[in-house]
Amino acid sequence: MMRKSKLFRTAAVTTVSAFALAAFTTACEQEKQAEAKTDKPTANAAAPAAKPEAKQAAPANAAAPAAKPATSAKPEAKQATPAKPAPKTLDEMFAFLPDPVATVGDKKISKKEFLDQLGKVPVEYIAQLPPDMLKAQAKQMVSSLVDMELLLGLAEKSGVKPTKELVLAEFDKKLKEMPKEQLDMITKQLELQGKKLDDIKAEAVKDPNTFKFYAINKWVEENLKSKIKVTDADIEKYYKEHQDQFKKPETLTASHILISTMSADGKPGAAVDPAKDKEAKAKAEKILADLKKGADFGAIAEKESACPSGKQAKGKLPPFTKGQMVPEFEKAAMALKPGQLSEVVKTPFGYHIIKLEAKTPASVMPLAQVKTTIKGILEAQALEKQLTEVLTKQKAAMNVKISDFK
């Protein structure tokens, strides 16, 4: 996948998103680890099932030493110690921040301004960040607030004021410049939420930070972005030097019939009853024999397959590349030629019969297909370079000081 450079490093929205993303990522990782711990015993649950019963049997023969459970009082005493309550407010979460967090010339950026930027981020997200990451994100945000203040000063000096009228005018301008397909898609998404474009516009003019963002955006477009010129030669050079970014891996399209061996809870890989496994394998082999005699693959998939693709698409799966399927399925599918049937293939989900529909070899996307994308990348890189130069110069001129915090 290709990555575009950030157009603006300075908007408060960007810094808030950084906090939300970091917190969300941390939360997801913790959830994955918890699920992994929960899932691991499931696969082996059948084997040691008798162990808990053996442990429960001991008290039945141990009436005399009934006093032994009293030893469990020690852990209880430890648990009774009240845990330190988790911070409940942003102010508590960022108690380590000084006030002001930075100064830009005569302007002080207060701790309150910093916290106001995070008003829409749930505290529980931020609370999941490790202390080191929280402080690193805070430093990044303070730096972004300084950048925003510097660029806002340049915008106001040139006559671009952060006003409600500017926001409304720029909002309407962007809508007019937007391709119809994109505008229609946004409109439909808003309708699903019970909203209209006018609602979004009304929300935008309520936030003072939005005024600043639009003023900075307008100044950047008029004074920096408008001067960027990307030639066809620049695009072709980038394309030749970054071929890996435009490679398309081999893609397979296949249909399958799944005879499931999964447990009632739907988790693949759990211990399977041997009788059920034998029955599923025999059924899959019978279906394969019928297919080889000319039976209709789609009709059987629709009737017999445990995969949702059976009833939804007569067994047809979305195109996939290497690494997207379980290894056993992938190996069997990769070995087939278009139109060919596999033998019965066993995976943690059950027994599959695979029919390869098409195989598209790996390739490099042609320049014409990615020209617009490359142009956007180069424009973004040039703009990022300009912003860095402007901000470096302004920081020196405005005597910027960022307060130290550990």
Tens digits of per-residue pLDDT, 212-262? 888 999 999 999 999 999 999 999 999 999 999 999 999 999 999 999 998
Model confidence band, residue 118 (pLDDT cutoffs 50, 70, 90): confident
Residue 38 pLDDT > 70, yes or no?
no
Residue 105 pLDDT > 50, yes or no?
yes
Q: Which of these ranges, 117-121, 162-166, 302-306, has the smallest mean pLDDT?
A: 117-121
Dist. CA 102–CA 27, nearest whole Å: 30
* Contact between 306 and 283 (Cβ < 8 Å): no
Residue 268 pLDDT > 70, yes or no?
no
Listed in order, the ranges of the chain carrying CATH 3.10.50.40 are 250-361
Residue 316 pLDDT > 70, yes or no?
yes
Task: Give the mean pLDDT of 345-370.
Answer: 95
Please count the other Cβ atoms lying within 10 Å of the Cβ belonging to residue 353: 26
Residue 360 pLDDT > 60, yes or no?
yes
What local confidence, expressed as pLDDT, does residue 116 receive? 86
Residue 69 pLDDT > 50, yes or no?
no
**Of 370 and 271, the one with more pLDDT:** 370
* Contact between 362 and 248 (Cβ < 8 Å): yes
Residue 153 pLDDT > 80, yes or no?
yes
What digits encode the pLDDT tens for the residues 280-311?
Answer: 999 999 999 999 999 999 999 999 999 999 99
How many alpha carbons fall within 13 Å on the CB side of residue 85? 4
Residue 2 pLDDT > 50, yes or no?
no
Per-residue CA distances from 31 to 28, 38, 160, 202 (Å): 5, 10, 46, 37
What local confidence, expressed as pLDDT, does residue 45 receive? 31
Q: How is 225-276 classified by DSSP, letter by letter?
A: GGG----HHHHHHHHHHTGGGGEE--EEEEEEEEEE---TT--TTS---HHH
Give the bridge partners for 258, in sequence order.
352
Task: Give the mean pLDDT of 173-196.
Answer: 89
* Contact between 129 and 26 (Cβ < 8 Å): yes
Find which of 17-26, 61-70, 209-218 is predicted with most confidence, using mean pLDDT.
209-218
What local confidence, expressed as pLDDT, does residue 10 receive? 35
Is 250-361 assigned to CATH 3.10.50.40?
A: yes
- Per the prediction, the chain carries an average pLDDT of 80
Residues 6+ apart with CB under 8 A from 156: 162, 215
Task: Give the mean pLDDT of 331-358.
Answer: 96
pTM to 2 decimal places: 0.63
What local confidence, expressed as pLDDT, does residue 129 receive? 86
Dist. CA 42–CA 40, nearest whole Å: 5
Dist. CA 394–CA 153, nearest whole Å: 10
Percent residues over pLDDT 70 in the chain? 77
**Of 82 and 319, the one with more pLDDT:** 319
Task: Give the mean pLDDT of 173-198.
Answer: 89
Please count the other Cβ atoms lying within 10 Å of the Cβ belonging to residue 400: 20
Phi and psi at 349, nearest 5°, equal -90, -20
